Amino acid sequence: MISREPTLARIATAQQLLLDPFGLTPAHLQRALAEIQAHKVDDADLYFQYTRSEGWSLEEGIVKTGSFSIDQGVGVRAVSGEKTAFAYSDDISEASLLDAARTVRAISSAAQSRRAKVPAQKIAGSRSLYDGLDPIATLDSTAKVQLLEQVEQRARAKDPRVVQVMAGLASEYDVVLVARADGTLAADVRPLVRLSVTVIAEAQVAGQTRREVGSSGGGGRFGLAYFDSARIDEYVDQAVQAALTNLDARPAPAGEMTVVLGAGWPGILLHEAIGHGLEGDFNRKGSSAFSGRIGQRVAAKGVTVLDDGTIADRRGSLNVDDEGNASQRNVLIEDGILKGYIQDAMNARLMRVKPTGNGRRESYAHIPMPRMTNTYMLGGDKEPAEIIASIKKGLYASNFGGGQVDITSGKFVFSASEAFWVENGKIQYPVKGATLVGNGPDALTRVSMIGNDMKLDSGVGTCGKEGQSVPVGVGQPTLRIDGLTVGGTA
């Protein structure tokens, strides 16, 4: 845990933005929580949020759009058993706070009314993983436009086949304050930036015009100075290379085969096919393929999967989650054995375990639920080249696009945005249209080689669940999976 100084500084910032302008004090928050607890409830909280965001986008050589927005409000929640009552308002005032408190306490019968004892206020423990700066202010508007123009110029200079460049720059300054029924007060000040690059390359192939897309980008919880010339070149190189590679791609073969997944962003398959199935709500309800399997072998030996919200500056990291609990480094699968689930406060209470710092919500207008932060698999002892060389005939998928997963069955379908056909241990040619089809828990048991090159993605992930989106991170080493079904176009 950290010293009190940065924790108190974040609470002071949150009070200055979310309480002081509206004549509110921590005493008012305690009064609202006491109103909720006048009826017998299991839990209650207030979630205040102030968000300032900015976005710029470039297309056809010019910066076409720029946007700026400010949103603020408060969400009020009461929990009784498995039931949740929730109200929110963009009017932050004592009157609206008390009105929402009286509304949500109706979840519990008035017959259960009681004289609520207001607990003493206590400051929640937290971490200090990123600076509480306003990233929007770290570059002026002129410099932001020039940054996007740099992307355009460098991408077109890479290769004459690049015919279109699109780039986007987003910045967000997010301040939250959480007051809980047990007297806990927590706050976080969360910067977030992202630069995205997309290029379209065009060439004549067999007498026909062929166009292919490549994309890249990155970001995290820091200022815009992160996107220096070297970083821009890195993103541009990756996007252009992906587009040019796909210009030469042949139709992907289909069938059951050995598949090697690249390091980094391909961990999105791990996130979707495995991570969601380890979230507490699905397991409490018995609707996950992993329900009731703690202590059992669910993956091959050597497979260790973590969800870690404590990595400095990462897109998915949090000093405290959206319920005021400090983020944690949670081992979910260790050497193939299922160790635990990702928990928010409500599901942890109902499952009689501790919260894991994974209570997350999109905004003050949404209820929290168990969500991933940075989910990744630890590295093994194999060289990536050795893993590719082990393939007699199969697919090497180095990058992924979209995908879908059924939590109950564990079945997934993912499209590879960059993949190669491999024979006798050598990459032969790029392929297009490859989709990976399988079952998450089954695929984990088919992992036969784990690379020593574990890396996290560049900071671009956004996770959707029940209509809510939150920033996340993924990662993995190079992996060999035997007997995976590939749906192709050949």
What value does the mean pLDDT of the chain take?
94
More confident residue, 227 or 407: 227
Structure-model confidence comparison of residues 440 and 455, the more confident one: 455
Q: What whole-number distance in Å separates Cα of residue 130 and Cα of residue 353?
A: 29
Which residue has tokens 């690379």?
Answer: 451
In which band, very low, low, confident or very high, does the pLDDT at 1 lie, cut at 50, 70 and 90? very low
How far CA 395 is from CA of 153, 345, 401, in Å, comes to: 34, 42, 16
**Tens digit of each residue's pLDDT (9 = 90 or more) over 214-227:** 999 999 999 999 99
Q: What is the pLDDT of residues 324-353, one digit of tens each?
A: 999 999 999 999 999 999 999 999 999 999
Contact 37, 108 (CB under 8 A): no
